[in-house]
Amino acid sequence: MAVTNYTEFFKSERDIYVQNISNCQVSVMFEVGPGHTESHLFVNSPDPVNLTQRVPFQAVKSSMDFRKMLNRQPPALKLLDEEQYKAYYQKSAEKRGLETVEEAIEAAEKQRAEVQNHVLDKPVDLLKEADNKVTQEEVQQEEDAISPRVLNLCLQVHPSLTEQVRLSAQSFLTELDAIGNLTLADWEYIQGHGFYKSVKNLAKKNIAELISSESEEASETKKKTKK
């Protein structure tokens, strides 16, 4: 269901049903209170969710991040009305051999929770990867190659976060120093997702040093092999 008039759509408070049609995981930020922002993860599944069971209606209504996901081309999220939502799970119940729509919704919710628990252990800005036309398999490979602590840090400086809740540059640099021994893949991810110029400059410097070091090691190995 395409929305052209958000003022009219959100005119009266009601349940908001949302389907992920992006073929990847999508994280959206909602301001649930003054200066307090929380993210909601739409897992990589076409099973629609009743978003207002998780996020207050007013937070959904005022989220520009949410509207961006609805309006991007191609769209990442799709709005459904209650009839479409129930019709989807009626078909799902029939396919799964379940007796009621409620059972199909419960089964989908259980599966969604399992996926979210796994993903939140290693969060990553998958939407940006999707914008770059990276397949889900490639994104998963990248996620597995990067330190979970690096992924968490980058999530805390996501551009959609407000300045009040975003991790400061100094705190980011302090955390990186505490991690230590980061790989080339870690630093490349930080350079792309570190938000702050100082953080990205540090990543650029370490990338250059690691590449130089690897080049020297390869050269030494080649010399030894010739001998």
The residue that leads in pLDDT, 68 or 115, is: 68
Each residue's pLDDT tens digit, 67-99: 888 887 778 889 999 999 999 999 999 888 888
Cα separation, 213 vs 209, in Å, equals 6
* Average pLDDT over every residue of 134-145: 46
Cα separation, 171 vs 178, in Å, equals 11
Q: Does the pLDDT value for residue 138 go beyond 60?
A: no
* Average pLDDT over every residue of 142-153: 71
Q: What angle do CA 73, 189, 192 make, to 5 degrees?
A: 55
Each residue's pLDDT tens digit, 167-178: 888 888 888 887
Give me the residue spans of the domains in the chain. 13-119, 146-226
Each residue's pLDDT tens digit, 5-14: 888 888 899 9
What sign for the dihedral angle of Cα 48, 50, 53, 54?
positive
Q: Does the pLDDT value for residue 107 go beyond 50?
A: yes
DSSP states along 105-126 = HHHHHHHHHHHHHHHTTS---H
Of all residues in the chain, what percent carry a pLDDT higher than 70? Answer: 79
Cα separation, 24 vs 130, in Å, equals 7
Most confident of 46-60, 71-85, 178-192: 46-60
* Average pLDDT over every residue of 97-120: 80
* Average pLDDT over every residue of 108-122: 68
Residue 203, token pair as written in the block: 């990543």
Query: Is-above-0.85 flag for pTM?
Result: no
Q: Does the pLDDT value for residue 46 go beyond 50?
A: yes
Each residue's pLDDT tens digit, 124-134: 444 444 444 33
Q: What angle do CA 126, 127, 128 make, to 5 degrees?
A: 90
pLDDT attached to residue 137: 41
